[in-house]
Every structure is written in structure tokens, then in C-alpha cells.
Chain A
């Protein structure tokens, strides 16, 4: 048995030597090693789970085909800071939102007005949030009303707001908040923010799950992870599916969503479609039906970004399964049904813009139902695409999600 005081003296000597070494040349080496370790850890944290996720999750083949129709891409406007949404005006012009909080006008000649439209309310811009969707009232020609979504609040307490104003030249007049999604969430992720008008004078608006509040997507008492259906003045339609039920938010149209950035109404098939960001994998195309529960987070084909299971289940009785699933994620953003004449082969098909895949997916439809065939378009742009629109001139329009974002028009070759 060693004598304790002698052993302690050895330990103290060792510690003293280590300490001196740390204080001199070793300190820098130690700090470098620490930095390398953190970089490695970050790589492990953000990189390896992707491989694990791919290994764990069944992949839905996209069956991309060759470009079926020759097309040409024309640049309409550049210099837009992360454009988010596009609305066509009756005179041939366009309104474009920039996420930073500016509403821009492109005139019928295709010239971007250097000045933004005045009187957009202050928006809370951070990561994914800011000024998002814009659309004109179906009776815009007579009432000049413009609707838009933006993030209200602060980084610690924010959510999506729908507002309405009258467009008078380069100014918005009578700006009215119509709807505020509640409760407020923390951070700028998963805001939803897309809306679409329905033929019955209502509109449907998507609200994200706020990332950290995913279980609230199943709580009918609030707006998190839901679509809401509103009259154009923001009031609640009497025929909403949950109106009058105690403890339930009457605005709710559907529930169980994660983050929907694409909504489109197929007027021919009379169907409302939504796309939805999954976590890592499990991006979805859904057919929305009043009162439907779309399962998040009880059922998903995606994994959490860390590679963890969100839930053991990919489907759940009582919830609506997606029409399509994209795994690995394509990050679906905008969405449109093509109704024009110039691309006859595309009529009735759904176009989904994507951020991660940097493409537009053409989802071939037959009588309002996906046939299973998809086409990956516009990869040559090598740009995140935030929105895709069915233009009144028969062209397809896309917005690139860039600091120097562009409005592009796709026409037949």
C-alpha cells in the first residue's frame, strides 16, 4: 500500500506540470483541439443523422421523367430580396412580396418599381418569417383590396397575421388586421403563411406548428399546425367544421399539420390541395377536406432533424394519409394548378416549387388525383424556388429564394 501523502504529492506535481503546460504552449493547442472537436461535433450533429435518416426511412420514388415539353425561361425581374409570393393584377402587372417586409410592384411592361409600396405594417423578420403571401381580392377590379400575411410580434413571441388593405397607387390604405394566429410561438420557424381564396367567398390560411409546438397541432383549442377558414373580412364562417363546439377554435378548417407553404384550389376538380414540409423526409401533398386531421405529429414518414423518431407510426387510424410523400425531403414551398393553354400537356397538373431540391415538381394529375408520375423541372436554375404560379397569360411563373431573387417566366420553346 502506498503512503497517501507521497501519492498526493505525486498527483500535485503532475497537476502542477499539466497546469504550467496548459498555461503556455499547450493552451493554444488545447483550444485548437477544442475548436476542432466542436466542429466535428457539429458535423456529427447535422450530417450523420441525414445518412441515418435515409437508412431508416422508406424512400418514395419520385419517378422523375425527362422534360416532357420544351420550354424557355425568361427573366421578368431581378433584385428582389428573398421574394416569397406573387399576385397578378388585372392590368398585367404583379405584386411581389419580399420577406424582409417590402411589397413591390412590377408594371405591365415588366419594370420593377424601385420604390416599395408604402404602408406595409412592421413585420418581424427572422429566419423563415417576415412578409409572406400576397393575393388580390377576387373582386379587386372593383374594390382594390389586397390581402397579405406577415409575422407579428418578437423573436420570443410571434406568429402569423393576415391583413387586408386597399391599394391606392403606390400606397396601401386602410390596413386592417383580419386574423392573428394564436398562441404566439418562439423563433421564426414553421409559420405557414400561405392562403388561397375559395369560390364560396372564404379563404383558407395555413398556420405552421412553430417547430417547438408540434403536439399543439392536435390541440383543437388553438391555431398551431392548422388551416383556418375565414370570411374575407376575417370573421368565422358559420359552416366551419368546428364552429360552436366548446373549447375549439371556430376558425379551424383542418388540423394535424406541420408547416404548409403551398395551398392551391383546383377549380375544375373542386379540390383544395396543400403541401407540407416534413421534418427530415416525409414532405407531403395533401387533399384538404373540412374537419380533416392530417396526423402530425402522431404519424409521419419523416424523422426529426437529429435522426430521432418523432413518432413510431407512419399512419394513424382517424387521420388522413397524404396523397404523396417526398423522402428525402424536397422542401415544398409554393404550389399551383396549371390551367393555361400554352402548355397543353400540363393542364390540370399540380406544380410544386421546392427549396432543397431547387426545382419545380410537376405532379401529373388525372381528374384531380395524382397518377404517380412526377417530373423534376428547372433544376438548371440551381436556385431555391419559393413560389410557382399559374399566370393569366398561360405562362408559369416562379420566384427564386435568393438575396438577389428573381421573377422568372416559363414559356413554350
Chain B
């Protein structure tokens, strides 16, 4: 049982990392394209879609690394907090993921040879926007975690319920 629980937790974590990676990659692409548009360059929808898809292939390994490193300490901490402050648990996971990504960008910039590793995070607004993907990952983790907790504590009546019932 304990082994299965650990596997489940790893699965939830992987889902959170995947959600953060996809969301973060898409957001950073739009920021980079916005910057290019500001130079007077036209970017039709088809080009935008193609570039977003290319970044999902090319940039996602970087984003996945950052997301995994950020969420690994953040999500267990959010679980710990959520068990104490139950009335804001969803917000705790979202905020935790968001802050974790911001901190990860800050640390990456401090250790990387270049001033800013992820170009879309060169401005505060850009960093906050890309880091919001951590909130997406946090919410995904929260939904999976709360569903698993519901199944564990109330295996029969699982439909439409909540562990707050």
C-alpha cells in the first residue's frame, strides 16, 4: 500500500511538472513573440502556432528541469501547509507553485553564465507571467492529491464529493 502511495505521489508530481512545463512554455513563447512584434514584425496566427509547437519541443526540456527543481520542495511544503490551513488549500498550492518558479528563475540566473537564462523572464512582468505556470502545476497537483485523499478516506462515495465534506 505504501509503495502504491509513493508511486501515486510521483505520478501526481509528474503531472504537475508536465502542466507547468506546457503552460510555462506557451507563455514564454507568447512573450518572446510579443517582443519581436514590438519591432514591427508581423506574426500571423499560423506562425504563432508553429513557433509555439516548436518551443514545446525545443524549450520544454529546460522548462521541465526548472519546473521539477522548483516544485519538488514546493509541493510537499504546500501539502504540509494545506493540512493546517484547509480553507485556503487550493490557493496554497497555486501560490506555492508560482513562488517556487519565481525562485527557480532567480537561482538559475544567479548560477547561469548569462544574465538571464529564460529570455521571457528578463522583465518582472515576464517572470511573473511565466512563473504563473507554477500555479497551474500546483493546482493540478492539488486536484489529484485531494482526489486521492478522498478515495483513500471515502472509497465508496467518491462522486462529486470533497475531502472537506
Q: A2-B153, A37-B72, A309-B55 are in contact. Are A48 and B61 (CB under 8 A)?
A: yes
- In the bound assembly, the distance between CA atoms of A41 and B21 in angstroms comes to 13
Write the B7-48 contact mask toward A (1 if CB under 8 angstroms, else 0).
Answer: 000000000000000000000110011011011010100011
- Is A332 an interface residue, CB under 8 A from the partner? no
**Using an 8 Å CB-CB cutoff, how does the interface string of A41-58 with B read, 1 for contact, 0 for none?**
111111011001101100
- Scoring A12, A53, A55, A187 by chain B CB atoms within 10 A of each residue's CB, the highest score goes to A187
Contact A44 B65 (CB under 8 A): yes
B 76-109 to A, binary, CB cutoff 8 A, 1 in contact else 0: 0000100100000000000000000000000010
Q: Which residues 42-78 of A sit at the B interface, judged by CB distance below 8 A?
A: 42-46, 48-49, 52-53, 55-56
Any chain B CB within 8 A of the CB of A247? Answer: no
Q: How far is the CB of B164 from chain A (nearest CB, A)?
A: 8
Q: Are A211 and B41 in contact (CB under 8 A)?
A: no
Contact residues in B for A48 (Cβ distance below 8 Å): 61-62, 65
CB distance from A35 to the nearest CB of B (A): 10
Interface segment among A111-119, A200-208, A310-318, A371-379: the answer is: A310-318
Let me know if A311 and B66 touch, CB within 8 A: no
Measured between beta carbons, the chain B residues less than 8 angstroms from A321 are none
Inter-chain contact B57/A49, CB cutoff 8 Å: no
Q: Report the interface size for chain B: residues with CB under 8 A from the other chain.
A: 48
Please indicate which of the listed interface residues B69, B111, B116, B154 has the most CB atoms of chain A within 10 Å of its own CB.
Answer: B69
27 pairs across A/B with beta carbons < 8 Å?
A2-B154, A7-B153, A11-B83, A33-B72, A42-B69, A42-B111, A45-B117, A48-B61, A48-B65, A52-B57, A56-B54, A187-B114, A187-B115, A210-B115, A298-B41, A303-B58, A304-B119, A305-B117, A307-B58, A308-B118, A308-B120, A309-B29, A309-B54, A310-B119, A311-B36, A312-B36, A316-B41
Known: A215-B39, A298-B39, A306-B117. 15 other contacts (CB 8 A): A1-B154, A2-B154, A43-B65, A44-B65, A52-B58, A56-B58, A189-B114, A303-B58, A306-B59, A307-B55, A308-B29, A309-B59, A310-B119, A312-B33, A313-B41
